Structure 1
Amino acid sequence: MSVNLSGNPQVQTAAAPSKKKPASSKRRSSSLVTLFFYTMAALFLFSMLFSLWFFLTETGSNIRFMMADTLITTQHRDWAKYLIGSDELDRRVQRYWAQFDRYSAIQDKGLVHIERKPTATPTPTGAAAVTVPVPPKQDLVEMEPISGPNFKGQLLIIHDPKKLRIAVPGKVGKGEKVSSMVQRLGAIAGVNAGGFVDPEWMGNGFQPTGLVMSGGKVFYNDGGMNTPNHMVGIDKDGRMIAGKYSPNELIKMGVQEAVTFAPKFIVNGVGQIKNQADGWGIAPRTCMAQTEDGTILFAIVDGRQPGYSIGATLFDIQKIFLEHGAVTAANMDGGSSTVLVKDNKIINKPSSEYGERYLPTAWLVFDEPEKANIKNIWEGLDPSKIDPSKW
């Protein structure tokens, strides 16, 4: 025993033996590290092989350009440059517009023949009465489900094209939901129509792009009377028109209802889009067509909803229209604007996270379209002074 300075005994204790990790724990740790490095190496190798396939092979490039085209039709157009580069993005957009102009330049051969409804003919005095058999009444509006590998939607069939009107918002300052237009104006059904100025993709839906005609009158025009626009409309005889026309030309042609959008992609019964790669990407779609007897077809396809419906290309829609006998077809505004309303119910599933969008125009179907109280909400307004971002 030793004595410390304080006088207290100092106890000598043996050092505690060190604890060694079991060999099994070391092996487990080593195995995890090895697994991690193998996993990273595999991922690196996979990324390299994927990049080579994605950028250097024909199949990969086709998918890459399809993805870029899909982005071009969304609010994230600039993201496409990460797939194809800024220069290629600009070239691709310009190429599409050049294609649209070529489609519009094809002369319509007038294949639509709308039969007039039979009317009562006065019977001459003393002549025997003639009984004319009356055909069974056909519903004005029908719906048919449509689908493909990546999409689901509805085909809205309207048997009398003269029952269609272009409707516009009821109040100055912002657009209106199609369901609201249908209810306010007493329509049977409605779909979204033309495009609109949409700053930061959060616009109020009040300012259309190009031209709007309703009831044979110009409601809105952001250019001159001789300025051509890509138009989709219906003339006084119920024939669908699609192509590049000025307001003066449309008036001379007797066009009653029209909005600006593109492209026209079926002309004289011939599809202009040759394959999926030229189908302008995968997206929600609203497209319009007409068959030889005058029947109007609207294809409304949902999209951007994995597990339900991703969307369709214009080539997909063209195929559906041709199978139903379309001789003319054109694209309408799509994406988050795509909506179908019937009997005051939204039939499809709009892709916008906020639901139905506020829009400047809609195609509405009426039993008596001449009685529809559609007023020119832009009358007296200067298009250059409209603020499309102000709610």
Structure 2
Amino acid sequence: MSANLSSNPKARTAAVPKKTRSPRPKKRTSALLTLFFYTIFALFFMGMFTSLWFFLTESGTNIRYMMADTLITTQHRHWAKYLIGEDELQKRVDRYWKQFDAYTAVQDQHLVQVGKPQETAVKAPEKKPLIEIEPIEGSNFKGKLLIVNDPKSLRIAVPGTAGKGEKVSSMVKRLGAAAGVNAGGFVDPEWMGNGFQPTGIVMSGGKIFYNDGGMNTPNHIVGIDKDGRLIAGKYKPSELLQMGVQEAVTFAPRFIVNGVGQIKNQADGWGIAPRTCIAQKEDGTIMFAIIDGRQPGYSIGATLFDIQKVFLEHGAVTAANLDGGSSTVLVHNNEIINRPSSEYGERYLPTAWLVFEHPETANIRNIWEGLDPSKIDPSKW
């Protein structure tokens, strides 16, 4: 039986299975694990190296403080403590305000001469357009330069309805303005405020519309007087009335005085952010810089040092900062022509600089008249 089976080729074939090539999972798995651990090690090494550079070197520290300054100008100011610590954050904020106060100590030499005739002109100068708009840009930013050739064409506008701020585009359309730019700061709880309560002082048409302090309480202000001169610095409301200031809001700092920039370097430029700033040339021409930001791939934003450079290149003798960030907006011909950074769209604001063909006819009324500033709820919509 056994001999027959061994001599039967079919039986032999059935008894001896064919050899198949088996997979080798162990070596492949081992290679993957090795790659994984090498990657983790490399990332750990790079992270450790970056941290040492970020916190212990001069170049890393400069970038760290620039990032902290940028956060200070946003609704996430408290995040800056993770970069520089809680104590250093407060010191940084306090230092900026001391710098802003120091800038106001520089005496204005009154270089601006609005409407001064050109003695060397052979013929009368051609009439300039009411406004001009130019693109401006730097290594990290893009924006617009709004040129207002007659400073007396500017008015501070306020919302038309009490209890809620108004979009600049809405103010422009409602009041028939040629252009509009956001203006002063406002109380903004949790950065979700209704835009109705300004900070400091608001003046329009030579009258005080809003004042959250006394008549002798100094405020950082940005305004225009009866002669069309840009007034920026720290003043009491009573002083503003004596000086003949017509339009004004509260914000800071004044950073160009007598044609000299006060900000000495990028490190003191108050971080990178969307910006709105105002300047004036010697002949009275007003310039607004509207800088887009917080949009990687298009425009990250600018420091005040960046804008100071732009203004000086355009002949500014005085310049000051206005509210910026997600409030920054430029409206022309009833259209927004910049790219605001707010994810919720154009913000509701208490004040705006508007340009009019006939500013004396603008129907701007005081919606805060009779209201107690301490009883305004800026979070109630």
- Fold match (TM-score > 0.5): yes
Indicate the residue corresponding to 1:294 in structure 2.
284
- Of residues 239, 244, 249, the one that matches 1:249 is 239
Indicate the residue corresponding to 1:121 in structure 2.
none
Indicate the residue corresponding to 2:57 in structure 1.
57
Give the Cα–Cα distance (whole angstroms) in 2 for the partners of residues 46 and 223 of structure 1.
Answer: 53
Give the Cα–Cα distance (whole angstroms) in 1 for the partners of residues 307 and 155 of structure 2.
Answer: 23
Indicate the residue corresponding to 1:127 in structure 2.
none
Do the aligned partners of 2:269 and 2:305 also contact (CA within 8 Å) in 1?
Answer: yes
Give the Cα–Cα distance (whole angstroms) in 2 for the partners of residues 337 and 32 of structure 1.
Answer: 51
Which of structure 1's runs of 4+ aligned residues deviate more than 4 A? 20-23
- Of residues 212, 218, 226, the one that matches 1:228 is 218
Three-state SS of the structure 1 residue aligned to 2:89 is helix
Three-state SS of the structure 1 residue aligned to 2:145 is strand
- Of residues 364, 367, 370, the one that matches 1:374 is 364
Matched letter for residue 358 of structure 2: E
CA distances 1:82-104 after superposition (whole Å, capped 9, x unpaired): 00000000000000000000001
CA distances 1:90-126 after superposition (whole Å, capped 9, x unpaired): 00000000000000111100000112689xxxxxxxx
Matched letter for residue 136 of structure 1: E
Give the Cα–Cα distance (whole angstroms) in 2 for the partners of residues 316 and 91 of structure 1.
Answer: 24
Say if 2:263 is the partner of 1:262.
no
Give the Cα–Cα distance (whole angstroms) in 1 for the partners of residues 257 and 116 of structure 2.
Answer: 24
Q: 1:183 to 1:34 in 2, by over 3 A?
A: same
Indicate the residue corresponding to 2:114 in structure 1.
114
Give the Cα–Cα distance (whole angstroms) in 1 for the partners of residues 214 and 151 of structure 2.
Answer: 29
Say if 2:156 is the partner of 1:166.
yes
Q: Once the 2 structures are TM-superposed, how far is the Cα of residue 30 of structure 1 from its aligned partner?
A: 0.4
CA distances 1:302-358 after superposition (whole Å, capped 9, x unpaired): 000111100000000000000000000000000000000011010101000111000
Q: Once the 2 structures are TM-superposed, how far is the Cα of residue 26 of structure 1 from its aligned partner?
A: 1.1
- Identical positions, percent: 79
The alignment yields a C-alpha RMSD, in angstroms, of 1.7
Give the Cα–Cα distance (whole angstroms) in 1 for the partners of residues 159 and 366 of structure 2.
Answer: 9
What 5-or-longer segments of structure 2 have no aligned partner?
1-16
Do the aligned partners of 2:116 and 2:283 also contact (CA within 8 Å) in 1?
Answer: no
- Of residues 320, 323, 332, the one that matches 1:342 is 332
Three-state SS of the structure 2 residue aligned to 1:309 is coil
Three-state SS of the structure 2 residue aligned to 1:110 is coil
Give the Cα–Cα distance (whole angstroms) in 2 for the partners of residues 367 and 294 of structure 1.
Answer: 17
Do the aligned partners of 2:329 and 2:340 also contact (CA within 8 Å) in 1?
Answer: yes
Q: Once the 2 structures are TM-superposed, how far is the Cα of residue 138 of structure 1 from its aligned partner?
A: 1.2
Give the Cα–Cα distance (whole angstroms) in 2 for the partners of residues 292 and 21 of structure 1.
Answer: 89
Indicate the residue corresponding to 1:238 in structure 2.
228
CA distances 1:113-163 after superposition (whole Å, capped 9, x unpaired): 112689xxxxxxxxxxxxx96532211100010001111000000010000
Indicate the residue corresponding to 1:386 in structure 2.
376
CA distances 1:362-388 after superposition (whole Å, capped 9, x unpaired): 000000000000000000000000000
Three-state SS of the structure 2 residue aligned to 1:67 is helix
Say if 2:25 is the partner of 1:25.
yes
Three-state SS of the structure 2 residue aligned to 1:305 is coil
Do the aligned partners of 2:180 and 2:355 also contact (CA within 8 Å) in 1?
Answer: yes
Pairs within 5 Å for 1:1-391 = 22=22, 24-115=24-115, 134-391=124-381
Give the Cα–Cα distance (whole angstroms) in 2 for the partners of residues 240 and 22 of structure 1.
Answer: 86
| Number of matched pairs | 361
